[in-house]
Copies of this chain bind each other. A is one copy, B any other.
Amino acid sequence: MNELNKPVHRSSECDLTKEPVFRGLPKESIAAIKRICRVRTYREGQTVIADQTEPSFTGCIAEGILRMQKTLPDGRQHIVGLLVSHDMFGRVFHHRSNFDVEAATNARVCCFDRRALEDLLSRDAALERLFLVNVLDELDAAREWIILLGCRRVSERLAAFLLILCRRWTNVHGVLSGNADRIRVHVPIGRADLANYLGTRPETISRAVHALADDGVIAIHDSQTFDILNLPRLVATAGNGGFGLERP
């Protein structure tokens, strides 16, 4: 498929300045963060950070999708979040990670050595501010997720999930395309992952997807790509989950 077997470290090609996350930072802050940035490349299925280990770096996704998950003693695993372009992960000022982070697709990640980053943040208030606001956003995302999981029916959770994709991942490369009439959503994970993500089983996901298609709310382009035909009815299906995620 491709030649990558382990993360490739490259000291170049860190185009952080273009990332909206770093928009508005003073020039010297950008220069400083760029200096400690190393790009790593992961291929699908690789582990980025293992549960209960102390990661040596904090990252910001340049391309691709990572999956945060907890592998449970009974072997099952539950996904607690998906990370897409521009999302940050890894805990500054905390030692152990409480989750696995795995590549859900091939991914490129800007990595900051944790120690160097902590030193930098201590000296650069603007940067620290940026990280603080970023974590606050993650917190909001996590709470949106909690509301989604509070939906009782799988169909509601699925609809709410598609809405989150539409709302939060607008312009994230490869997820959304099409116009308002026929929004095309590409779900970047398979049925099994999606089932873990929504707290159910693959069979039930399959049924729920086809139920939405039978009702004319969506059309199935392929097993991971849907066209949203009737957004209002999708919102109605989501019920509770369709709300709770308004953004400024």
Contact = CB atoms under 8 A, between A and B. Distances in A.
Interface in A125-178: 125, 128-129, 131-133, 135-136, 138-140, 142-143, 145-147, 149-152
A140 B199 contact: no
A78 B145 CA distance: 12
B93 A132 contact: yes
Interface in A209-248: 239-240, 243-246, 248
Most buried by B among A74, A98, A122, A125: A98
Contact of A142 (B94, B122, B142): B142
A73 B135 contact: no
Contact of A80 (B68, B132, B143, B243): B143
Given A74-B239, A149-B150, A150-B149, A92 B132 contact: yes
Stoichiometry, as copies per complex, reads 2
A143 B72 contact: no
Q: Chain A: interface residue count, which band?
A: 35 or more
Contact of A125 (B128, B151, B243): B128
Contact of A140 (B74, B98, B133): B98
A188 interface: no
Contacts of A121: 129
A74 B152 CA distance: 14
A70 interface: yes
A81 interface: yes
A94 B139 contact: no
18 contacts: A52-B246, A68-B143, A72-B239, A72-B243, A78-B240, A80-B147, A91-B136, A93-B129, A93-B132, A98-B140, A98-B245, A128-B132, A131-B132, A135-B139, A142-B142, A145-B146, A146-B146, A152-B200
Interface of A: 52, 68, 70, 72-74, 76, 78, 80-81, 91-96, 98-99, 121-122, 125, 128-129, 131-133, 135-136, 138-140, 142-143, 145-147, 149-152, 196, 199-200, 239-240, 243-246, 248
